[in-house]
Amino acid sequence: MTNMEAKTPVPFSVMNGDGESFIVGDKKYTVRPMLVGDALKFAEDGLSISSQLFNLANKEAKEKLDFYLSQYCFDENKDPMTIEKVIADKWSIIDLKNFLRKLCDLSG
C-alpha cells in the first residue's frame, strides 16, 4: 500500500459526533467536538491553551472560554459546564488546560 492510500479507518464515534470522557477528581465530564463554524471561530479567537492566566484575566477571553465550556463540555447529568461550575467543582488550571487540549484534539 502506498502512503497516499494509507488511511486510518474513521470510527463510528467520529461520524456520530460523540465526545470523549474527561475526568477531574472523582467527576466525569464529556467533551464533544466543535461544529465546524465554532472550530473556525475558535482558531481565530486566540484563546491561549498554555496560559490560563490570560484566559481568566482578560474579560473577553473569559467570556469566550465560558462559551466553549457551555457548548462542548458536559457534566455527568449532561448539563453544560460554565466557569462558575468549574470553580465549584474545584478544577485546577491544569484541568482547564487539559479540557482545551482535548477540545482541540477532537475538533480538528
Distance CA 84, CA 105 (A): 24
Per-residue contact flags (x/-) with other proteins for residues 18 to 37, judged by CB under 8 A: ---------------xxxxx
Q: Which is nearer to other proteins, 26 or 37 (CB)?
A: 37
C-alpha distances in Å from residue 18, one per residue of 12, 80, 91, 92, 103: 9, 15, 23, 25, 12
**Left, alpha or beta for 70 (phi > 0: left; psi -120 to 50: alpha)?**
alpha
Q: Which is nearer to other proteins, 47 or 73 (CB)?
A: 47
CB of 21 to other proteins, least distance (A): 17
Q: Which is nearer to other proteins, 29 or 91 (CB)?
A: 91
Distance CA 21, CA 102 (A): 10
10 Å Cβ neighbour count for 12?
Answer: 8
Interface with other proteins, residue 3, by CB under 8 A: yes
Give the residues lining the site for other proteins (CB under 8 A): 2-4, 10, 14-15, 17, 33-37, 39-40, 42-43, 46-54, 56-57, 83, 86-87, 90-96, 100-101, 104-108
